C-alpha cells in the first residue's frame, strides 16, 4: 500500500493526472504484492508519453534561450509564440494580446 501511495505522489509531482494514475494502478494485480515485473510493465505503458514530455520540455528550455522576455509575443523570430511568423498576416505588434491573432 505504501508503494502505491508513493507512486501516486511521485506521479502527481511530475504532472500526471489522477485519472491516468488510477488507470495505471488498475493494471497491477490485486490480492498480492506487485512484483518488479508488474511495476516495469506499468512504467512501460508511460514510457512513450514521458519521453515525449521530456522532449517538449527540453525544446521549451532550449528555445527560451532566445527569448528576450518582453512578453509582447510579436517577435518575427519567436519560435514559441510565432513559429514561421504565422502572425504576420494579422499586422504588427502584439496581435495576440490585442485579440487579432
Instruction: Check whether residue 42 and residue 9 sit in a common domain.
Output: yes
Instruction: Check whether residue 52 and residue 71 sit in a common domain.
Output: no
Q: Round the average pLDDT of the chain to a whole number and report it.
A: 81
- Is residue 67 within 8 A of residue 78, CB to CB? The reply is yes
Question: How many domains are there within the chain?
Answer: 2
- Its pTM stands at 0.58
Instruction: Check whether residue 16 and residue 57 sit in a common domain.
Output: yes
Q: pLDDT for 26-50, tens place per residue?
A: 999 998 999 999 999 998 988 998 8
Residue identified by cell 504484492 is 33
Q: pLDDT for 48-57, tens place per residue?
A: 988 998 998 8
Amino acid at each position: 500500500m505504501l508503494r502505491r501511495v508513493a507512486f501516486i505522489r511521485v506521479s502527481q509531482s511530475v504532472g500526471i493526472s489522477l485519472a491516468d494514475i488510477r488507470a495505471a494502478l488498475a493494471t497491477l494485480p490485486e490480492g498480492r504484492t506487485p512484483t518488479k515485473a508488474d511495476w516495469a510493465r506499468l512504467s512501460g505503458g508511460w514510457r512513450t508519453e514521458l519521453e515525449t514530455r521530456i522532449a517538449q520540455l527540453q525544446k521549451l528550455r532550449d528555445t527560451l534561450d532566445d527569448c528576450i522576455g518582453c512578453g509582447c509575443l510579436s517577435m518575427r523570430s519567436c519560435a514559441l509564440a510565432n513559429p514561421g511568423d504565422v502572425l504576420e498576416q494579422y499586422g504588427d505588434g502584439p496581435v495576440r494580446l490585442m485579440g487579432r491573432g
